[in-house]
Amino acid sequence: MTTTLLSLSHPSWRSQLRAAYAIALKDWKTFWRYPLNAVSNVLQPIIWLTPVYFMGQAFSVNGQANGFAAYSGTADYMSFILLGTALSNFIGSVFWGMGYALKNDMDAGVLESVWLTPVPRLLLLVGRTLNSILVTAIESLGMLLVAALLFGFHPTGNVLAAFLTTVPMLLGLYGFGFAFAALVLLMREANTLVDISSFLIQLFSGSNFPVNALPRWMIPVALSIPLTYGFDAVRGWLLKTTTLLPLAWEAVILVVFMFVMLWLGSLVFHAVERSVRRKGTLGQH
Amino acid sequence: MMTTSYHSSHSLGRSNLRAELRALRAVARREWTIFIRYPSWVFALFLWPMIFPMMYIFTGRALSGPDGSGLAIFTSASGATDFIGYIAVGTTVWMWQNVVLWDVGFALRSEQMRGTLESNWLSPTWRFSYLLGHSGPQLISMALFILVSVIEFGLIFGVRLHGNPLLMLLVVLVSVPSIYGLGFAFASLVITAKEAHTFVFLVRGLVMIFCGITFPISLLPGWMQSVAMWMPQTYMIRAARAAALSNASLGELLPDLAALLGFGVFWMTAGYLLFHWMERRARQTGAIGQY
């Protein structure tokens, strides 16, 4: 009786949750099947940050990057960049979690059969990110611990406010991810797309530097990306840096971004998904 | 009848130089077809050379400060007057090595994943052709990549190359054996280690940490400088910067070019020997089709 009620053939919110859990559990098991990857993911950002650390030294006197402080309000450029890197990990995981998962299913030849299950397609996408978000949280914590030992990490502000700021930012990213997954369905190639778009968004939203250091003509691009305000607000709360706008305004922008992106992203995804189903190109890769 | 006999003389069943060249060409053609099948290569070719160095260039701008005071400190530490060119050269060498590790390094692994490696292995072809054939289109695409990089750096960042173009070309050519030799060695290890992304991350990470892609290696602690001296990319970056940005003469470049040739011989030999070791091991253990 219970089985019938929870069955995916009679969709209910409980059966949908069960489906999302099953997807996350499958990804969790697959991920830990290759434990070296977890170690690599902790060390990777450290590797990327090392040249930045030494480059920063080349611009500093007695470890103080005063030029950097004039832009950002803090001479502690490594804490600034480390925080940006941890947030970027989450941006990456939403992109990878959806776009790349679709490509994997295409290559493995299971996308069509997964598509036939009575689970909402957006839930299939969200399910693929649950594990990557959890793993990213674990890895980012590990990365910050290692980086704190190597380079120093000095957050002195309000951790709770910083955390609350990240919630609408991450949810808004799901909207981005839906639209991006639609693009993967169309182009059938994920690696380059994921790499480039994820990198560009991180670049222009100021994951490694204050956006006011960009050339003048690029600043409007940075200011038009809502994530810029997310990075800026989290740093403002945790490192007490100079923010682009008052923190309350940045919070409002992030909440609006969340609703708009979720609506827009799901709209684009449904339109493209319907189109590839009609053309019969869903299983092609 | 005549046609049949003509084909027989070139058959892969009777191995000779022409048949081997034909097989090599077939592998190269197949790889080229796969390469252009996915239009995203256009993005990779035109966008990556421009956007990857941006992260470091803009971080450098931020570190310089609005009044450029930090830049004066960087110039005195590195001796480089053009910090954008300095970073652009370093990151281009890194990207080249990175792409070769993924493309050439995963050449055999991709075949394994597609399930075609075993059947190809059974053909009476010199097996190293699979790697060499894969490297041909890769080399062409990388030559285009470097050319696009130079043009984009000039147009977007205003980087001006002051050196002798022939010497710059010489530095690139002398770097080829080291970069691709490492790729060959890597391809053989990947086929044995299977899940090898971690190894790519490790190798490219070592280049990133030790070879001074964005900073002078004199800033590194002594032990790290010693490690850097054992990596060919350190010499590539130094020689390329000297040739392109400082108008160095052949005499000034010679020590780095000699070191690069030495590394090239070492890595090509290591790549070939590792390939043979892997080939023998794969036949003995039957592991070639496993993944």
- N-terminal to C-terminal alpha carbon distance within chain B: 44
CA distance linking residue A131 with residue A21, whole number of Å: 9
Q: Which residues of chain A have pLDDT under 70?
A: 1-9, 95-96, 188-191, 283-285
Smallest Cβ distance to A203: which of B54, B68, B208? B54
CA distance B13 to chain A (A): 33
CA distance linking residue B202 with residue B130, whole number of Å: 25
Chain A residues near residue B207 by CB distance under 8 angstroms: none
A70 shares contact with chain B (CB less than 8 Å): yes
- pLDDT the model gives residue B14: 61
- pLDDT the model gives residue A81: 92
Confidence tier at B289 by pLDDT (50, 70, 90): low
Chain A residues near residue B39 by CB distance under 8 angstroms: 187, 189
CA distance linking residue B108 with residue B288, whole number of Å: 10
Q: B55 and A199 in contact by Cβ < 8 A?
A: yes
- pLDDT the model gives residue B242: 94
- pLDDT the model gives residue B2: 44
Q: Which of A98, A68, A97, A57 is nearest to A206 (CA)?
A: A68
Report the percent of chain B where pLDDT is more than 90.
33
Note the pTM of the prediction, 2 decimals: 0.79
Answer yes or no: are the C-beta atoms of B247 and B164 closer than 8 Å: yes
CA distance A45 to chain B (A): 10
Report the percent of chain B where pLDDT is more than 70.
91
Q: B63 and A70 in contact by Cβ < 8 A?
A: no
Structure tokens at B259: 């070191």
Question: DSSP readout, A130-191?
Answer: HHHHHHHHHHHHHHHHHHHHHT-----S-HHHHHHHHHHHHHHHHHHHHHHHHHHHHH---H
Residue of B nearest to A53 (CA): B215
Q: How far is CA A87 from the centre of its chain?
A: 7
- Mean pLDDT to the nearest integer, B205-214: 92
Domain boundaries, chain B: 35-289
A180 shares contact with chain B (CB less than 8 Å): no
Answer yes or no: are the C-beta atoms of B185 and B267 closer than 8 Å: yes
- ipTM, two decimals: 0.79
Smallest Cβ distance to B215: which of A51, A71, A192? A51
Q: What is the pLDDT of residues B136-171, one digit of tens each?
A: 888 888 888 889 988 988 898 888 888 888 999 999
Confidence tier at B5 by pLDDT (50, 70, 90): very low
Domain boundaries, chain A: 7-279
Q: What is the mean pLDDT of chain B?
A: 84
Smallest Cβ distance to A67: which of B55, B70, B205? B70
Query: What is the DSSP code (8-state) at residue A64?
Result: B
Q: B215 and A54 in contact by Cβ < 8 A?
A: yes
CA distance linking residue A89 with residue B275, whole number of Å: 36
Query: What is the DSSP code (8-state) at residue B230?
Result: T
CA distance linking residue B124 with residue B147, whole number of Å: 38
Q: A209 and B62 in contact by Cβ < 8 A?
A: yes
CA distance A86 to chain B (A): 16
CA distance linking residue B230 with residue B242, whole number of Å: 19
- Pairs across A and B, CB distance < 8 A: 136
Q: What is the pLDDT of residues B245-266, one digit of tens each?
A: 888 999 999 999 999 999 999 9
Smallest Cβ distance to B61: which of A56, A58, A213? A213
Question: DSSP readout, A28-61?
Answer: HHHHHHSHHHHHHHHHHHHHHHHHHHHHHHHT-B
Interface of A with B in 101-130 (CB under 8 A): none
Q: A70 and B66 in contact by Cβ < 8 A?
A: yes
Q: A196 and B51 in contact by Cβ < 8 A?
A: yes
What is the residue whose two structure tokens read 């910090």? B83
Q: A213 and B54 in contact by Cβ < 8 A?
A: no
- pLDDT the model gives residue A283: 65
Q: B58 and A37 in contact by Cβ < 8 A?
A: no
Residue of A nearest to B59 (CA): A209
- pLDDT the model gives residue B1: 40
Q: B201 and A47 in contact by Cβ < 8 A?
A: yes
- pLDDT the model gives residue A8: 56
| B15 φ, ψ (degrees, to nearest 5) | -65, 125
Q: Which of B241, B175, B231, B229 is nearest to B203 (CA)?
A: B231
Q: What is the pLDDT of residues A72-105, one digit of tens each?
A: 999 889 999 999 999 988 888 876 678 778 877 8
CA distance linking residue A169 with residue A253, whole number of Å: 9
A67-81, B84-98, B106-120, B176-190: least confidently modelled range? B106-120
Q: What is the pLDDT of residues B32-80, one digit of tens each?
A: 887 777 766 777 778 888 888 888 999 999 999 998 888 888 888 888 8
A63-72, B196-205, B236-245: least confidently modelled range? B196-205
